[in-house]
Amino acid sequence: MNITKKIALISAAAVLCSAPVSASAAGNASDGETLAYTCLGCHGIDGYRNAYPSYRVPKLGGQKAAYLVVALNGYRDGTRPHPTMVAQATSLSDQQIEDISSYLATLSADTVAAGGSPGVGPAESNACTACHGQNGISLSPTWPTLAGQHEDYLVHALNQYRDGTRENAIMAPMVAALTDADVALLAKYYSSLNGLETLEAE
C-alpha cells in the first residue's frame, strides 16, 4: 500500500471513529446468563471451528457489550451472513440481545479490562488504531476489540468486508486497498496481543 493511500485511510478512520456513539448495551447480565447458554456451546469451547468455511469461532470473553449488541443486530437484520447466527439472533428480542451481550462481556474479561499488552504494529495497522486502539483494545464501546482474537477468524472477517458479504459502511473503505498479504499480516499481529479470551462461564 503506498503512502498516499495510507494517509487517506488513517484520515478517514479518524473522522469516522470520532462520530458520536449512539448505541449502548443496557442489558441485565443476570437474565443474559440463562439466555446465553446456547452461545457457550460454540464460543465456550477452546478452538471450536466453523464447519465451512473452516475457521475458529470468535473469542467473545472481554468483548464490549455494546459491540456485541451491534453484531447480534447485524445477524438479525441480515447485514452479517451466517446461517447459525442468523437463526439464533432472529429468535431474540431487543432486550434479550442486550441481556446476552451484557452477560457475555463479563466473562474472561480481565486482560481487556487491564488494557491489554503494548504492541507496535505494522504500518498496515495505523488506520486500524483510530477505532480499534493502539493495543487492539477498542476505543469505543461499539467497535470490536481485536487483541487476542483468533488469527483465522480475523482473516475471515476482513475478507468478508473486502468482498461485501459483511456489510459495514466504515469498514468497506478501510479494507478496500488491503491485499491478501496485508490481511494476513494484520490478523497475525492482532491475534498475537493479549486481550480477548474464549468464554468461560462463571
Domain that holds residue 43: 3-8+24-191
- Copy the grid coordinates of residue 198: 474464549
With respect to residue 16, please indicate whether it lies within any of the assigned structural domains: no
Residue 116's pLDDT band (cuts 50, 70, 90) = confident
Residue 202's pLDDT band (cuts 50, 70, 90) = low
With respect to residue 199, please indicate whether it lies within any of the assigned structural domains: no
**How many structural domains does the chain have?**
1
With respect to residue 14, please indicate whether it lies within any of the assigned structural domains: no
CATH code for position 132: 1.10.760.10
With respect to residue 200, please indicate whether it lies within any of the assigned structural domains: no
The answer to whether 60 and 107 have CB atoms below 8 angstroms apart is yes
- Residues 134-178 pLDDT 10s: 899 998 999 999 999 999 999 999 999 999 999 999 999 999 999
Quick one: which of 34, 95, 31, 21 has its CA closest to 64? Answer: 21
From the CB of residue 134, how many other CB atoms can be counted at a distance below 10 Å? 17
Distance CA 155, CA 35 (A): 29
With respect to residue 65, please indicate whether it lies within any of the assigned structural domains: yes
With respect to residue 143, please indicate whether it lies within any of the assigned structural domains: yes
Quick one: the chain helix, strand, coil %, rounded to 5? 50, 5, 45
With respect to residue 97, please indicate whether it lies within any of the assigned structural domains: yes
With respect to residue 19, please indicate whether it lies within any of the assigned structural domains: no
- Residues 77-100 pLDDT 10s: 999 999 999 999 999 999 999 999
Q: What is the pTM of this model?
A: 0.85
